[in-house]
Amino acid sequence: MPDLRMAETPRDSDALQAPPPLRLDSTSLFLDLDGTIAPLELTPQAVGPDKARRRLLDALLARLNGRLAVVSGRALADLDRVLEGRVPALGAVHGLARRTSDGRVFAAAGAEPMQEALADIRAFAAADPNLLVEDKGPAVSLHYRRSPEVAPACRDLVRRLGSRLNLSVQEGDMVIEIRAPGPDKGGAIEAFMAEPPFAGCTPVFLGDDLTDEDGFRAVRRLGGSGVVVGGRRPTDASYALPGVAAARAWLNAVLESEA
């Protein structure tokens, strides 16, 4: 069975091949949620528990001896809602919050400027009922999937707030987020890899969004590989899959091949 290997990066995702099968006995697996193992919906709340995804994650947790973490932009409580509390190890808010396999929680403090940013973003969004403001504590997301025509105004507002309040800004798929200083997804993966049960194995990370590039770079530094799901762009991932269905099919095929 071939090993996952690092590709020369960055490369256009269209030029990347599908990943070879994982070696489940020596892999630590990290998965983004939305756009990776769950389809993107109009609002975050529209994504909920899913029977097929539950079976897949349960099987992966068992076969990987717990070396599975979901690393997402969602808050911890929202990840538990969608995943039905079945995945112990979680990286949330793009790395600003993290729960270890044994239940310890680490979270960046919500800086005071975040409250000012939240108030300004809510005031802006009040004029358009199709905009959604998601308060995650140390981060605030402004979703414009239902009003794509106001994307430039949303980006301009959040970028100005970031500059004025000395906060970080990151863009996603039809969303822009402002956040307090702290770890990103790569930092969360590196922290997991320094502790049981992940330490000593090869990290592999599947993600779809621009914020997942931090994770791809982290696993590459640690001798592992990233798999970009669906995105068409220059990427630090080593392999690519065309979408959520392909990512889930690949993971299920790995389980079947090593059954």
| Chain position carrying tokens 């592999």 | 204
Pick the catalytic residue: 32, 34, 78, 120? 32
Sign for the CA dihedral angle at 58, 48, 120, 164 comes to positive
66/68 Cα distance (integer angstroms): 6
What burial class does residue 175 get, using C-beta atoms within 10 Å of its C-beta: 0-12 exposed, 13-18 middle, 19+ buried? buried
209/31 Cα distance (integer angstroms): 12
Our answer to whether residue 214 is catalytic in this structure is: no
Decide if 30 contacts 192 (C-beta within 8 A): yes
**Would you tell me how many other CB atoms lie within 10 Å of the CB of residue 168?**
15
**Catalytic residue annotation:** 32
